[in-house]
Structure 1
Amino acid sequence: MKPDRRRPSHPQEVPMPRSTPPHPPGKPPAGPTRSARWMRVWQGLWLTVVPNLCLAAAGDIPDRPEQLQFPPLQYEPPDPAAHRVVLRSGPVAYVIPDRELPLVNLVVLVRAGAYLDPPGQEGLADLTGYLLARGGTRSWAADDLEERLAFLAALLNSSLGDTQGAVSLNWLSKDMDEGLQLLREVLAHPRFQEDKLALRKQQLLQAMKQRNDHPASIEAREIGFLAHGDAFWANRLPTAASLDRIRREDLIRFHRQWFHPSNFVVAASGDFDRDAFIGKLEALFADWPFTGPPAPPVPTNTTFAPPGTYIVPKDINQGRVSLLLPGVTRDHPDFFPLMIMNDVLGGGGFTSRIVNRVRSDEGLAYAAGSSLPGGVHYPQPFRAAFQTKSRTVPYAISIVLDELKRIQTEPISNDELHTSQRAFIDSFPRRFATKAQTAQLFAQDELTGRYAREPDYWKRFRDRIAAVTRDDVLRVARQHLPLNRLVILIVGNKDEILLGHPDHPVSLFDLSPGPVIEWPLRDPLTLQPLGEPKPITPGRN
């Protein structure tokens, strides 16, 4: 017979608890020890006091999240003047030590970009910026430089956008001098290798061929044309012909014209002594091998399209919709009330009106909202946007229009105002979350002229948000949302969109103050329209 595995097969001594030690035979057991008596006292206190404390604490817990109260946030932003250095070699630098990790982060901002592309050579700035870090230097072939950077665990990057560029290096502080030497080579002596240039041009050409594949790309491009005009420099986009005209000599000439210290602003943070690192920055930019003119101002001659509804035909089952109105620059005196207005209207996520109406209440779109970015150099448009099924496009537009009208006719609620203000004020410290973020934010302000115009901008930011009133929001909504200038851009199935939805009898022809126009696609390689704009009349698609 097999032994029962649930119990031992032979007698075992069962250990006694420590609190009841064995006593000699023939004698009565001793009373509880002093430690045991104290244990019982503590157990009694625990069973009596702790539940009462829990009940008292539970009584202090609010019933709803919005009833929670917190002490006021005490935070003062860094002072840019405390980190600003005008280098004798030319650039302004923002230098902030950060000993948390043995790393150095250096960003050189450049006043240059696509707005400086010569006519017929659109794409030159983009190629120059891309190949600075990837096309080799005077002393390093491109592949050898990449290998050396990998050995140093260093990250090098470069790019040029529309109005500015950046060359950045992140590396270990123990390799301080070598990292700075490599950065000097990239900034002052780029090679722009022919093979790397040819490869990049081929990559850009392949990307051009896909310009019309995605409705979001079409929408973004046509917003630029409608909001700024065909003749505006930002709409002189690269084409196959303009890429073909660009030679290595053009990159060298563009670089030598604009990449010199008087066009640089530097952001530096990391594991270094501040004074010693400033000396290294002086050496980095000293004795520059060439000079050039200061970058000219960015042109601002935008032209907003006539009001109307512009449909770009695309055989897809959903329509992408943007409602556009003329915008402002970020320096406009009404910009802070406009920030609150846009946040309440559609920029504040699930607390905003457009999101609640279009997404939450009607279920017409996963994503909906609005933006009013405030242009740095020229106005950027107000935009309300969503994507919905083709036949619900007119109905969804009508809902957004209702909200645009409502915010112009009745004040926002106190709750909406306070929620928006708290969102801006409470998230404010995130702008300075790291030393690198702080240095780069201050460098951006230097590059774009904000620091020169208003050195205490960030110190006053929260007070300006807090000073906005409901009447301010109503006033700027009436002034800056002129619906008689409304432009509606739709990318989608024209015939389905014009049909509308049987449960929501809204006509596209009743939504805009202007005509409904079939807006042609553009050839992806030439960007020339594939046809002429055609007015659409009701019943004749």
Structure 2
Amino acid sequence: MIRTTAIALALNAASFSLPALAADIPASPRDIQFKELIFEPPAASEFRYELSSGVPVYMAPSHEFPLVTITLSFKGGEYMEPEGKAGLAAMTGALMRQGGTQTVPPKELDEKFDFLAANVSASIGGTTSQASINCLTSNLDEAFSLFIDMVRNPGFDKDRLEVLRGQELEDIKTRDDNGLQIAIRELGFLMFGPDHFEGRQPTKASLESITPEDMRAFHHRIFHPGNLMIAVTGDFEPDKMLAYLEEKLSGWPTGDPAPAVPAPTASPEPGVYYYEKDQNQVQVLIAHRGITRDDPDAIEVQVMNDILGGSGFTSRITNRVRTEEGLAYTAGSQMSPRVEYPGLFISYFFTKTPTTALATRLVFDEFDKIQKTEVTTDELDTIKNNLIETFPRNFESKSAMMNLFINDERTGRDPAYWQNYRDAVRKVSPEDVQRVANQHLRPHDAVILVVGPWEEIQKGNLASEPDPKRQATMDEFGEAKALPKRDPETLEPVKP
């Protein structure tokens, strides 16, 4: 009886509140007002610690799950490969994980990591290398002991090396099957030169020459505390983790620091280049030297490129070439800065053979338009709002955030960069966009790289396009130079 009365009273009270609640509901979802999201990027200093050896450690604890992730990040990478050993960096990184340790055979190491439910990886990239472990907090001591043995004393097992070498050799046999892969490779040769690490490619000879001794020597130059920074996230207490790392990394000799990353010496000659390949879809890359990451105009250039071709369907190149003209499914541009030297500006599209010339003309028209005419307020606001509203994604993962701080410290980025980023974006004006378009967008210096059946591409759409204003051939972009067809295994030119 008492329970029934209580329910009745509750329902009666609710009935009086329903009109008040209804009055608070907007007539349309468009009228809903949301509180402003206020996000302030964290400062790297809040997460930075240091071992007694001077090794920086970035830590962000969280206790939602009983897991810990430790990433060892090292300066050094492909740019340090000896002459004639292209492919050594990637294979060394892979075999660090696959090849056991000096005391634990590969299969046994795999089984131990599996038993401990530890996810372990190692890799060597262009300028940095890393090794990472993710495991249960309860298994950390045993798993990390195996992990650090793998990092410090990799076994580079000969049998595993031959398996890996066989896979790599099979892969390079097919690298001329894909037009985009050819375009990226040939652009690397043109823009960086075949001897710079960004243009260098492994060959059958270089892969076959790699020995366990080569790997040990290469590993020794990179994987030591003199190149090391550490990121830790997950279920731990910072003071205890710092002491733990001190203990586990003690006695690790510090070698010579990795050398500076070399700048390319190649000077690409502007013009049209083509690589002959019988295929239905044509790949076109238009490229020239770009800017460094810390260029004073870097944010203005980012905004300019997003308007031009870097923001998908909101960008001009995508809208013109794909949406309006229907000439390509993929079209756009990107500005890819480098820290140590100017990177690349690249515009790209993939189209049919007859429409290659017209699509190329349309892209150059957009270059000309953004240089000669100020962008609209709507265009600019769309890009600026997108950059500002998506800004917090840089910090949505604690692991990604720690690695971001490591990269910033290693490359000397201004510590106030992230705190000032959104204000810098807000300040970009139409005049700024036009100024940087004229200063940093250089169509006359561009390499136009085309992969496809050149004879048909060169003719353009004269036979199929009735409108004289839309007729185009590749001759309007100047004399074209044929790139040599290459043997996929040796990359040497193939004789006709």
Shared fold, TM over 0.5: yes
Q: 1:197 to 1:69 in 2, by over 3 A?
A: same
Provide the C-alpha distance between the structure 1 equivalents of 2:9 and 2:217, rounded to a whole number of angstroms: 91
Partner residue of 1:480?
A: 440
**Per-residue CA distance 1:416-468 (angstroms, 9 max, x = gap):** 11111111111111111121121111112223332xxx112211111111121
Choose which of 245, 256, 274 in structure 1 pairs with 2:238: 274
AA partner of residue 76 (structure 1)? E
If you compute each CA radius of gyration, which structure gives the higher value, 1 or 2?
1
Q: Secondary structure at the match of 1:57?
A: coil
**Per-residue CA distance 1:32-81 (angstroms, 9 max, x = gap):** xxx999999998997xx589849x8226836xxxxx87544310111101
- Answering whether residue 484 of structure 2 is matched by residue 520 of structure 1, we say yes
- Answering whether residue 474 of structure 2 is matched by residue 508 of structure 1, we say yes
Q: Which stretch shows the higher mean deviation, 94-103 or 253-262?
A: 253-262
The CA RMSD over aligned residues, in Å, is 2.4
1:522/1:528 contact within 8 Å kept: yes
In the alignment, structure 1 segments of 5+ residues that lack a partner are 1-34, 63-67, 533-541
Partner residue of 1:377?
A: 340
Partner residue of 1:415?
A: 378
Provide the C-alpha distance between the structure 1 equivalents of 2:20 and 2:247, rounded to a whole number of angstroms: 67
Q: Secondary structure at the match of 1:490?
A: strand
Q: Secondary structure at the match of 1:411?
A: coil
1:304/1:326 contact within 8 Å kept: no
Q: Percent identity?
A: 40
Provide the C-alpha distance between the structure 2 equivalents of 1:123 and 1:179, rounded to a whole number of angstroms: 29
Partner residue of 1:157?
A: 121
**Per-residue CA distance 1:358-404 (angstroms, 9 max, x = gap):** 11111111111110021122222111111111111111111111111
1:256/1:291 contact within 8 Å kept: no
TM, length-normalised to structure 2: 0.92
Q: Secondary structure at the match of 2:404?
A: helix
Provide the C-alpha distance between the structure 1 equivalents of 2:230 and 2:344, rounded to a whole number of angstroms: 30
Provide the C-alpha distance between the structure 1 equivalents of 2:161 and 2:408, rounded to a whole number of angstroms: 33
TM, length-normalised to structure 1: 0.85
AA partner of residue 334 (structure 2)? S
Instruction: Please state how far the C-alpha of 1:83 moved relative to its aligned partner.
Output: 0.9
- Answering whether residue 299 of structure 2 is matched by residue 336 of structure 1, we say yes
Q: How does 1:47-196 map to 2 (within 5 A)?
A: 53=23, 57-58=26-27, 61=30, 70-196=34-160
Q: Secondary structure at the match of 1:406?
A: helix
Q: Secondary structure at the match of 1:235?
A: coil
Partner residue of 2:427?
A: 467
AA partner of residue 209 (structure 1)? K
- Answering whether residue 220 of structure 2 is matched by residue 251 of structure 1, we say no
1:89/1:285 contact within 8 Å kept: no
Instruction: Please state how far the C-alpha of 1:262 moved relative to its aligned partner.
Output: 1.0
Q: Secondary structure at the match of 1:442?
A: helix
**Per-residue CA distance 1:114-152 (angstroms, 9 max, x = gap):** 111111122222221111111001231111111111111
Q: Secondary structure at the match of 2:494?
A: coil
- Answering whether residue 367 of structure 2 is matched by residue 404 of structure 1, we say yes
Partner residue of 2:395?
A: 432
Partner residue of 1:496?
A: 456
Q: Secondary structure at the match of 2:83?
A: coil
1:322/1:488 contact within 8 Å kept: yes
1:106/1:266 contact within 8 Å kept: yes
AA partner of residue 411 (structure 2)? T
2:66/2:235 contact within 8 Å kept: yes
In the alignment, structure 2 segments of 5+ residues that lack a partner are 1-6
**Per-residue CA distance 1:201-246 (angstroms, 9 max, x = gap):** 1111111111101111101111211222344343232111112222
Number of residues of Structure 1 aligned to a counterpart in Structure 2: 485
